[in-house]
Structures are given as C-alpha cells and as structure tokens.
Structure 1
Amino acid sequence: MTGSPTAAPPLRAHSPEVSAAKARRWGAFYYAEQVLRVMKGYGWSIFLYSVGQPAAYLFAMGVGLATLVDTNTTSVFFGGVSYIAFIAPALLISAAVMTAATEFTFPVMDGFRWRRVFYGPHASPLTPEQIAGGQIIAVTCRFLLQSVIYFVIVAMFGASPSGWGWGSVLVATLAGLSFGLPLMAYAASIKEDKGQFAMVMRFIVMPLFLFSGTFFPLDTLPVLVRWIGWISPIWHGTELGRVMTYGYGESPVLTIIHVVFLLGLAWLGWVLTKRQFVRRMGQ
C-alpha cells in the first residue's frame, strides 16, 4: 500500500536557504551595514574632516573675511544677503563633494585591489550590483549626517534665513552623489594605483571648488574659466542651495536645469558603476 507523499518540512528561520533568500533581496543593505560599521571605527576622524574643516572655513569666512566684504561691498552684489549667507550653501555643497572624492576613490580601490574586500561578500549570494549599491547607500548616509550637522552650524550663524533651508541637506547629498558616482565608476576601472586619485583632487576637485561661484557669483569670473562652473556639480548644487537657504532669485527653468543635471549625472554614474563592478567581478 502506497502512502501519501510526505510534505516538505518548513524552513528554519536561520537555515542557509532562508539566509540566501534574504541576501538576494536585501544584500545591498547588508553590505551598507558592514561599511557603516567600519566607518564607525574612525568616526571622530570622519567628523573632524567632514564637519570640523568646513565649519572652520565658515567661521573664518563669516567672522573674518565677511566683515571686510560686507563693509566694502553692497549686499546687492550677493543677492541682497550678507556674505556669510552667500557662501554658506557653497561650503555645505563643497563639503559633500569633497567627501565624495574621498569615499568613492580609495575605498573602491581597496575593495578591488588592496584588501579585496568586495570579493568576500561576492562569494555569498550578493551580486556585484548589490555590493556597489551597499557602498553607495553607506556613503549617502554619511552625506546626510554630515550635511545635517553642518546645516545646524550654518543656522547657528544665522546664514539660513529661509524656512526651506533644510532642503540644502538633500541638495548637498545629491551633489555628492552626482560627483561621486561617476568617480566611483572610474575608480572601479583602475587596476594599478599610479597617482590617479591625487591627479583627480588636484586638477578636477580643486578647480571645481575654486571656479564654481563658491566665493563670488559665477558671472563675475572671467569668461575663460566660467565654463568650469557650468559643468560643475558644485555650482549647480550651490545655486540650488542658495534658493533653499535664502530664496535666491533665479529663473524656475534654471532651477529645473540644476536638478536635471545633478540627477542625470548621478544616474549615469550609477549605470557605469554597475557595469564596472560586474566586469571586475567576472560576471
């Protein structure tokens, strides 16, 4: 007499099958958690670099240089606001971009070349896209945290008179991603460190910082260098930040262009990053 087929036993909560299914679904967040735990180990260094340095810049400019500028220049030159209110959004955006230049270069090289930390998770069900996504999620959390702290400092200086000033935190995060994701794709393509990242800092990051309308309106710069601002995530983010923090008057069309530019650059960087991660991990 043939018995009825026995039903398969239910899967245990921590069985390999269940763990693999969770990894396939939430792998990017699992990897982001690991990166954030590593960041926690040098949290004070992150704080001093990401917040302390820009805050010192803000204090020097707001208390030192701003006194001279406001005394000898009419506020109309800076959109009808004080000099510190003018530069505060630029420093907030620049801090995020500087962080992107750090987090999306050497850690990516470390993952592929030096300690090869990307390959361990890849031996699990995590895909290259999830590993890349987890790295991006963790750095995005850093953008948000440092921007919130920095914005509080800006508000304490009275440099954000608008009620929409908090929106500059989101703008800074978007600007950091729009610069960092294409850079991450480039870092993922490098197989030997020959000083490429130092060249990026010297010939890309610093010129963008200096020629993106950070300290003076972009249209006051010579025409020969003004184009640097037009292609710079710092300038597009700074202009949006000024709209948020003190109601900087600009055409709504130009505001839309800023948003589209930053989103488009971030999307392009994500597409290229995924492609490079899959290529480097052999899938």
Structure 2
Amino acid sequence: MTQQPGVARMPALMVFEYHLINFRRSWYGSVFSSFLLPVLTLVGFGVGVGSYVTGGVGGVPYLDYLVPGLIASTAFQVAIGESLWPVFGRFEWEKTYFAQAAAPLRVADILGGQLLFLLFRVLLSSTIFLAVAAAFGTLHSLWALAVVPLQVLLGLAVISPVIAYAARVSSDSFLALLMRFGVIPMTLFSGVFFPVAELTPVLRWLAYASPLWHSVELSRAATLGTTPYWPAAGHLLYLAAWAVVGWWLARRQFARRLVD
C-alpha cells in the first residue's frame, strides 16, 4: 500500500486496499456461499416448491415473491459471515488489527477500511444476484435498480453491530451462538419465504424488529413495483438507526481493544 507523491493520504482507503488485495487472492472460496448457493435455493424453492404454490403469494408468482427476499437474505448472511470469524480472527489469531494500530493508523481508519471492504462484499454479491434475478425474468420495475443500494444499507446496519460483537467476545463459541440463535431464525422469520402476517403476534413483532425484514419489504416493493408495508422512509430510517448505533458500538469496542 504505497502512497504516490502528491496524493493526499487516505488511511481508511489504504486499509480497504489491504483487504481487497487479500480478497483477490482468495475470492474463489466465496463463490459458493455468495452466488451458487443462493441460485440453487432460488431454483429449488422458487421454481421447484413454487410450482406447488397455487396462485402464488397475494397474487404474485412465488418465484417473483421469493427473489427479493433471497437477495436481501444473501446480503444479510454475507455481511454477518464476513463480520464474525474474520474480525474475531484479526483480533485473537492473526493480530492484524494490532499491527495496523502500530503502523500507526487511527481506530477510525482501521474500522473504516474494514467496513468499506465488507460493504464491497455485500455490493458484489447483491449485484450478481440481481443480474441472475433479471435473467429469470423476476424483476417487474425499474425500481429494482434500487435493490443493490438497499442491500448496502442493510449491510451497514448489520455489519456495524456484529463487528462490535465479534470484537467484544473472548471465544469463537459465541460466534456460533449468534449464528444459531440469531441469524438462522431471523432468516427464516423475516418475510423471505412467506409473509410475516402468517406468524403469531409475538413472532411478528420480532420480525418487525429485524433489520432484514425492512430490507426484504423494500426490496420486494422495488422488484414488483408495489408499495411497501410501512412507508419507505420509515424502513430506511430504521436501518439507518441500526447503522449509526452499530458504528458507535464498533468504534468504542475497537478503541477499547486497540488503544486502552
């Protein structure tokens, strides 16, 4: 990460470049989780199971109903997967963050570069999935172009608090607990596969609290050209609130580990 003469120093971008170089050497390892698995799920559930869903969901063919949910859930899982073990490992196993702090880099630079890379991963997987969805003929509005930036916002809303969690815990067992009792239920009960209106009132309100449900609702409205369940501004503000609070928690936790 060399700096060219006359170019202003942008430390966060240099940290992002570091992660990008590492990803260039190992990108093929993420092809299955961020591309092939969602496509197989789309074919299996959307085409296979969908053929048995007579009348679709609310008059919408099941494949068309499912695709925006899968795009959002894929972005959600990529964001969390890249924010748990990799971040924990850079603190506990590889000690990468400590080396960067000794460079020296500010905490904001280290955290900012990490966030930029993780958002890049979300952007990449969402763009590819949206292109596949277009090939299946499941996009019915030009608003579908807004799906990718929506997933980036979802990614920021999820990545920030999860990074804070990964930086806080002392054992990787806690990461598996979050996946088992947080990520999997959230994926199943956030409107990806069926409307949350089918849930009991308690589970329905838990779904409303999930950032994934808000992204699913906005993405589905965008691809179908319909109106979301809540006003779009409400969904966006809720996701932004998660991002802001998560950033504060992550910034605080990184400072505690790297400075104190």
TM-score (norm 1): 0.86
Structure 1 stretches lacking a partner, 5+ long: 1-12
- Hey, what's the Cα distance between the residues in 2 that align with 1:167 and 1:247? 11
The equivalent residue for 2:68 is 89
List aligned pairs for 1:1-283, cutoff 5 A: 22=9, 26-69=10-53, 72=54, 74-75=55-56, 78-190=57-169, 192-250=170-228, 254-282=231-259
Greater C-alpha radius of gyration? 1
The structural deviation recorded for 1:175 is: 1.2
- Hey, what's the Cα distance between the residues in 2 that align with 1:14 and 1:41? 24
TM-score (norm 2): 0.94
Give the residue type in structure 1 aligned to 2:49.
L
- Hey, what's the Cα distance between the residues in 1 that align with 2:58 and 2:226? 7
Q: Which runs of 4+ in 1 moved over 3 A?
A: none
- Hey, what's the Cα distance between the residues in 1 that align with 2:259 and 2:96? 15
The structural deviation recorded for 1:194 is: 4.9
The structural deviation recorded for 1:79 is: 3.8
Give the residue type in structure 2 aligned to 1:247.
G
Give the residue type in structure 2 aligned to 1:33.
E
Count of residues paired in the alignment? 258
The structural deviation recorded for 1:248 is: 2.5
Q: Please give the secondary structure, in 2, of the residue aligned with 1:118.
A: helix
Q: Any idea what the Cα deviations from partners look like across 1:162-200, whole Å, max 9, x if unmatched?
A: 11112111111211221121111111112x215101000
- Hey, what's the Cα distance between the residues in 2 that align with 1:217 and 1:248? 15
- What's the RMSD between the two structures over aligned residues? 1.8
Fraction of identical pairs, as percent: 34
Give the residue type in structure 2 aligned to 1:271.
W
Structure 2 stretches lacking a partner, 5+ long: none
- Hey, what's the Cα distance between the residues in 1 that align with 2:117 and 2:126? 14
